[in-house]
Amino acid sequence: MSYRIKDGCVGCHYCKLECPAEAIRIINGSYQVIEEKCISCGRCKAVCHLDLPYDSKAHQEAAQKHGLKEISCDVLVIGAGGVGMGAAARASYLGLGTVLIEAASKPGGGTYLAHGASFPGSKTVYPRLGLSSDIDGQVGFWNMLAGHEMKDQEQLRKNVAANGEFLDWFDSLNPDYCKPFVKAEGPFPFPFDMPKRYLNTKSTDNSIGPGWSGSWFIDKLCEICKNQGVRFLNKTRATEIIVAKDGNVKAVMAEDEGGEIKISAKAFVLATGNYLMDDEALSAIDPDFVKKERPIFRITVPTNRGDGQRMVKKIGGVVNEDFMRTRGPSHHPYSYAVNMFMGNPENVFFDADGRRLFEVKPGPPPLPGKKDKETPDTPGQKILHSKKSLCYAVMDSEQLELFGKRLEKMADPVHDAFAASWREDIEAECDLMDLPAAKAGSIRELALKLKMDPDVLSESIERYNALCKEGQDRDFGKAKENMRPIEKAPFYGFIGQNFDNGASLGGVETDGMLRVLKSGGGCFENLFCAGDCATYSPEEEKGAVGLCGGLGGSFASGYQIANYIKDLCV
């Protein structure tokens, strides 16, 4: 007997690090079990948030079938990620009978893997941690992203303030809930975080949980929901929204392993996540997302297949699915130290044939809501449309040491673990079968290890070295101060690929109060949507701008939706 791991691994490393038999390793970008080493202890299944490991020899009992079940409640929340948990906890706190359904076996969604958050406007927690409670600055930030002063400044301020209101409410429920949090230091863009993990503690990959603030919030919100009587139905997938004659929603059809369930409610919250696991939807945007040799690495949960978007389309709601942002180069799920190396301006990137592919330009990333077709020269687009949808950062030993020393200078506790072991991590990667990294004594040898044409890579590097001596990158425009010749052996090549966590996808369109818009105008008064299921654009003033993006916005959106629903139900 042995365990196996289904498709959909996001590379959180938890199963590998907890396996007592060392029977799990990365093969072709995902963790897999080496069957002859597996001792069938089941530890991998116990720790996997996505519930991917399974006993290949265990008998699977058929679910007990049932007829149509009918449930009534005040609020139905569909999806138990950040938005759904925030909505269910707040709605039940406000005295509303709440049912929460989730397609997966465990709550949390992609939020469980996230960390780092921003809660502007917090009047109790932020001052306690020495963080600014400034709302004006965040309002100005969103106006800046829009490129103009947005029309409804009152709604924008209300949305921004809800972030801090959620955090202070969460803190008020239990004095221990916010104790683990600190003012975050280092390169992360969010000021509010935990200094160390409480789960998956052996991992040194700071880019992904579980065990960071996303997991903590979810675990505590689950506790709140349980204490307040929220009815939770897992492995239950919503399939259809039923609209009443008055144009509002009256019920939702769902199905569990045994059969159908009809859930009637006064208000409904769509928090079903993105459609990143829907190959058909991604192919409609760009076939290269799924058809290339190295498809985009999807950091999301297997149940994110666009259920909410499809249901809204069928009832005449507005859904925008025409964009997705490629993001790369990323070295995940391999060494996090190398992943950090990818951001250094001295890097030179090559395609699978050995030709220079792109130059990472300084400056901010594209604005939220920008479509890839509007930004065709981004590294992500160059990688996506290259021969194999991957790239390699090629460097010599001097450049590698330069990057390593920069890493070691990071003194805050969050980064110490991976910064101290980068040499060992790289040596281990060079021994892996699927070539995330290679080391060689010559450029030609490196090319052969990376399955490139040795002549092409050699010519490309000779050309780049000549430009370094000239002091001008006439091919790709690299800044002179970042040009360093690739000359001193040994030489290294590190794979880079595109990734996405679904937060940059389009989705259901809402108004500023998170109500789903109708294609014919107006909105569904009792159908709300937020998180990765929804779309927003500051430029076009679409969606609940100020309550979107980031971990804090997810929880705060659900919290604010519950407040709106309370007013609706009075």
For residue 369, what pLDDT is reported? 43
For residue 17, what pLDDT is reported? 96
Kindly write down the DSSP assignment for every residue of 323-381, as one continuous string: ----EEEE-TTS-HHHHHHTT-TT--EE-TTS-EEE---SSPPPPTT--GGG-TTSHHH
For residue 519, what pLDDT is reported? 95
CA 558 to chain centre: 18
Both tokens of 246, joined, read: 């008055």
pLDDT for 365 beyond 60: no
Phi-psi group of 367: left, alpha or beta (phi > 0 → left; psi -120 to 50 → alpha; rest → beta): beta
pLDDT for 415 beyond 60: no
Mean pLDDT of 238-245: 98
For residue 323, what pLDDT is reported? 61
For residue 442, what pLDDT is reported? 97
Q: What does the alpha-carbon distance between residue 332 and residue 12 come to, in Å, rounded to a whole number?
A: 9
Mean pLDDT of 368-380: 60
For residue 187, what pLDDT is reported? 53
pLDDT for 130 beyond 80: yes
Mean pLDDT of 110-137: 92
Pick the more confident residue, 315 or 292.
Answer: 315
Which stretch of 133-142, 165-174, 436-445, 558-567 has the lowest confidence by average pLDDT? Answer: 133-142
Q: Categorize the per-residue pLDDT at 367 as very low, low, confident or very high, splitting at 50, 70 and 90.
A: very low
Task: Give the pLDDT confidence of 174-188 residue by residue, as tens digits.
Answer: 999 999 998 876 555
Give me the half-sphere count of Cα atoms (radius 13 Å) on the Cβ side of residue 400.
Answer: 22
pLDDT for 255 beyond 60: yes
Q: Categorize the per-residue pLDDT at 239 as very low, low, confident or very high, splitting at 50, 70 and 90.
A: very high
Which stretch of 175-189, 243-257, 356-370, 395-409 has the lowest confidence by average pLDDT? Answer: 356-370
For residue 320, what pLDDT is reported? 87
Q: What does the alpha-carbon distance between residue 539 and residue 147 come to, in Å, rounded to a whole number?
A: 6
For residue 381, what pLDDT is reported? 85
ω into 333 cis (within 30 of 0): yes
Maximum Cα–Cα distance across the chain: 77
Q: What does the alpha-carbon distance between residue 29 and residue 331 come to, in Å, rounded to a whole number?
A: 10
For residue 411, what pLDDT is reported? 52
Q: Categorize the per-residue pLDDT at 504 as very low, low, confident or very high, splitting at 50, 70 and 90.
A: low
For residue 254, what pLDDT is reported? 98
Task: Give the pLDDT confidence of 309-346 residue by residue, as tens digits.
Answer: 999 999 999 998 766 667 889 999 999 999 989 989 99
**Percent of the chain at pLDDT above 70?**
93
Q: Categorize the per-residue pLDDT at 432 as very low, low, confident or very high, splitting at 50, 70 and 90.
A: confident
User: Please, are residues 401 and 302 in contact by the beta-carbon 8 Å criterion?
Assistant: no
- Evaluated on CA atoms 335, 108, 158, 93, the torsion sign reads negative
pLDDT for 24 beyond 60: yes
For residue 533, what pLDDT is reported? 92
Mean pLDDT of 118-132: 93
Q: What does the alpha-carbon distance between residue 352 and residue 431 come to, in Å, rounded to a whole number?
A: 20
User: Please, are residues 84 and 271 in contact by the beta-carbon 8 Å criterion?
Assistant: yes
ω into 175 cis (within 30 of 0): no
Q: What does the alpha-carbon distance between residue 87 and residue 565 come to, in Å, rounded to a whole number?
A: 10
Give me the torsion for CA of 500, 503, 507, 509, rounded to 10°: -160
For residue 416, what pLDDT is reported? 63
Mean pLDDT of 373-377: 58
pLDDT for 371 beyond 80: no
Task: Give the pLDDT confidence of 509-536 residue by residue, as tens digits.
Answer: 999 999 999 999 999 999 999 999 998 8
Mean pLDDT of 95-99: 98
Q: Categorize the per-residue pLDDT at 376 as very low, low, confident or very high, splitting at 50, 70 and 90.
A: low
The mean predicted confidence, pLDDT, of the chain is 90
For residue 384, what pLDDT is reported? 85
Mean pLDDT of 37-63: 90
Q: Categorize the per-residue pLDDT at 80 as very low, low, confident or very high, splitting at 50, 70 and 90.
A: very high
Q: Categorize the per-residue pLDDT at 168 as very low, low, confident or very high, splitting at 50, 70 and 90.
A: very high
Residue 548's CB is within 10 A of a number of other CB atoms, namely 27
Q: What does the alpha-carbon distance between residue 15 and residue 13 come to, in Å, rounded to a whole number?
A: 6
243: phi then psi, degrees, rounded to nearest 5: -105, 135
For residue 494, what pLDDT is reported? 96
Task: Give the pLDDT confidence of 534-565 residue by residue, as tens digits.
Answer: 988 888 888 889 987 688 999 999 999 999 99
Q: What is the pTM for the complete model shown? A: 0.93
Alpha-carbon distance values, 164 to 77, 115, 121, 135, 427 (Å): 22, 17, 4, 9, 45
Count helices and strands in the chain by DSSP H and E runs = 18, 25
Q: What does the alpha-carbon distance between residue 530 and residue 565 come to, in Å, rounded to a whole number?
A: 14
For residue 368, what pLDDT is reported? 44
Phi-psi group of 432: left, alpha or beta (phi > 0 → left; psi -120 to 50 → alpha; rest → beta): beta
For residue 370, what pLDDT is reported? 47
